[in-house]
A and B are shown apart, each in its own frame.
Chain A
């Protein structure tokens, strides 16, 4: 069954990102969970060293789109995908590409903080250990924790179990863990939805810091958050990419009436 909204739909694009500035290019992506189609012909370029927010009402496919950027959808049984996701010139869904290798290049932070029940240090260096790195772990851990704005709070208790940290600290630890391996692209799936406003504010300013070093794609439920931190915004609805463009333009002057309705809070 094809959603009505998908028929003959043309995405509204403002100042599209040129291919040479894009870290990831999604081209004509269709994604199915069994018989249910979750993404309809999505094409979008995510710019380098910028924050791109994906917004939209629940069930619109924004998390699905995010997870298709690092092949996390592969873990869902019965998932099928058509189209291309080109990262650094390579289609990550090419049969030659190992999904494990993809995920080592693209970091991910989840909705709920999910540190491992290990020490803070072991959490940060987990990705490096996976890749067999044995030396220089201390320096990497310190740099990652500093970038994640957590170093000052935990430098004296790196050997403590990470689960004892507060929710906000845990989430920053998860960010540190994700960036310890220096992934050029960092995906964040509603990273602050389980946090209180103060922790959220810290994470947001951290993300703005991080875009010097990394390209970020963030899924968020919170339009104020998108407005505060995102350079570009992508609006999804029912699996269709409705409108994408620079955040301030899209928020002040949405062209599609659905975007306008969502942004002004009439649904979602």
Chain B
């Protein structure tokens, strides 16, 4: 006790001051975290908010009915009711619905969707025709506040709807000049095509580079130079890769604005990321594993392919998924290599034209119809969900397959 270590220190002024400083610091570092989270929350909420709008629609001709969920559960049942409402007989409806051409045209001209609120009541199916004109497109809060006034001021063939832009049919509709029928299908297929091709090109190159640098290359100045440059390459702005792709693939190799040119460009963009992740994974395999394989009579290639590479799969997979997430979100380089044009069809092969999610969103945002802001918001939500899913997958892969040496 002579040093006073265990004495009651609550009265000690020095200790009180230390505690005060600690508390202040502990609070000070919380502030940036809160700010960052708040900013992300605001961004997300704002985007989600924009995916819903209140519309006053002037419907054409006979259509424009809404149907309660009790009447119809599936979109096909709704179409059946709609056709009946247009005055078709049972046989005509059956013939119409079994004819794929007729149905395709119907779906191109009409949008069948479940809406949260209409003037007839909540949660009803609505069939909108593309010829409908939308008199008003109000944001959610504004629209709900004026809901009753709007409802009273409706003309005979006008309707009031709460339109959720992001619904299942949004993913299955083709792009359109008419926002009400514009969808993500082409962009989704384009993204899947582009991502697949990009990964097919960049994984072998990235992982191969990593294997060479880690396992084969002599550790000298040249390999250090390559390594440093690989890291620098990962930090180059993506638009620069776009310029390179434009010069080399689109113009030089005369690929034109095709998926192939885009995939090569994106592969260049994410190859350094994959390569770095693969190198880290290779480095994390202890040398004792290599020695054990050699001691059992493995050749160098057997050692790499049977022991080292399998042990790196979680690391490489995580790196690849994160790189894929980056590739999915990139718009700038693709605008350079020709995804900017309006594309109405899903890609048929590596040399077709294409569009992808971020480019589609970019096109919608820069369109002048105000309703495209709603489709863009819906597209952003889809993109964010995809990215979130990929990050979750990467996290899961890392947790599940991590090797504890």
Chain A residues at the B interface, C-beta cutoff of 8 Å: 70, 72, 75, 100-101, 103-105, 107-108, 110, 112, 114-118, 126-127, 129-131, 163, 174, 177-178, 181
Given A110-B288, A110-B291, A117-B311: 5 more A-B contacts, CB < 8 Å: A100-B298, A104-B297, A114-B292, A117-B405, A163-B405
* Interface: B28 (CB within 8 A): no
Q: For residue B286, which residues in chain A have a CB less than 8 angstroms away from its CB? A: 114
17 CB-based A-B contacts, threshold 8 Å: A70-B295, A72-B295, A100-B297, A108-B295, A110-B291, A112-B288, A114-B289, A116-B289, A116-B292, A116-B293, A127-B297, A130-B296, A130-B298, A174-B292, A177-B296, A178-B296, A181-B297
Q: Beyond A114-B289, A117-B403, is A72–B294 a contact (Cβ under 8 Å)?
A: yes
Q: For residue B291, which residues in chain A have a CB less than 8 angstroms away from its CB? A: 72, 75, 110, 114
> How would you classify the secondary structure of chain B's contact residues: helix, strand, loop or mixed?
helix
Residues 303-314 of chain B, each 1 if its beta carbon lies under 8 Å from chain A, else 0? 000110011000
Q: For residue A108, which residues in chain B have a CB less than 8 angstroms away from its CB? A: 295
Q: For residue B297, which residues in chain A have a CB less than 8 angstroms away from its CB? A: 100-101, 103-105, 127, 130-131, 181
Chain B count of residues within 8 A CB distance of the other chain: 20
Cβ distance B81 to chain A, nearest Cβ, rounded Å: 57
Q: For residue B403, which residues in chain A have a CB less than 8 angstroms away from its CB? A: 117, 163
Interface residues of B in 275-330 (CB under 8 A from A): 286, 288-289, 291-299, 302, 306-307, 310-311
> How would you classify the secondary structure of chain A's contact residues: helix, strand, loop or mixed?
helix
- In the bound complex, what is the Cα–Cα distance between A100 and B294 (angstroms)? 8
Closest-by-CB residue of A relative to B288 is A114
B292 and A75 contacting across the interface, CB-CB below 8 Å? no
A178 and B295 contacting across the interface, CB-CB below 8 Å? yes
Closest-by-CB residue of B relative to A123 is B292
The winner among A114, A115, A129 for most chain B CB atoms within 10 A is A114
Q: For residue A130, which residues in chain B have a CB less than 8 angstroms away from its CB? A: 296-298, 302, 306
B298 and A116 contacting across the interface, CB-CB below 8 Å? no
- In the bound complex, what is the Cα–Cα distance between A132 and B375 (angstroms)? 58
Contact of A126 among B288, B296, B311 (CB under 8 A): B296
Cβ distance B12 to chain A, nearest Cβ, rounded Å: 46
Q: For residue A178, which residues in chain B have a CB less than 8 angstroms away from its CB? A: 295-296
Q: Beyond A114-B288, A114-B289, A163-B405, is A100–B295 a contact (Cβ under 8 Å)?
A: no
Interface residues of B in 382-405 (CB under 8 A from A): 403-405
Closest-by-CB residue of B relative to A101 is B297
The winner among B291, B295, B299, B311 for most chain A CB atoms within 10 A is B295
Q: For residue B306, which residues in chain A have a CB less than 8 angstroms away from its CB? A: 126, 129-130
Q: Beyond A112-B288, A163-B403, A163-B404, is A181–B295 a contact (Cβ under 8 Å)?
A: no
Cβ distance A105 to chain B, nearest Cβ, rounded Å: 8
Closest-by-CB residue of B relative to A75 is B294
Q: For residue B288, which residues in chain A have a CB less than 8 angstroms away from its CB? A: 110, 112, 114
Residues 345-374 of chain B, each 1 if its beta carbon lies under 8 Å from chain A, else 0? 000000000000000000000000000000
- In the bound complex, what is the Cα–Cα distance between A126 and B292 (angstroms)? 10
Cβ distance B405 to chain A, nearest Cβ, rounded Å: 7
Closest-by-CB residue of A relative to B299 is A100
Closest-by-CB residue of A relative to B298 is A130
Q: For residue B299, which residues in chain A have a CB less than 8 angstroms away from its CB? A: 100
Closest-by-CB residue of B relative to A102 is B297
Closest-by-CB residue of B relative to A114 is B288
- In the bound complex, what is the Cα–Cα distance between A72 and B298 (angstroms)? 12
Contact of B310 among A70, A103, A118, A131 (CB under 8 A): A118
- In the bound complex, what is the Cα–Cα distance between A105 and B294 (angstroms)? 12
The winner among B292, B297, B310, B404 for most chain A CB atoms within 10 A is B297
Cβ distance A172 to chain B, nearest Cβ, rounded Å: 15
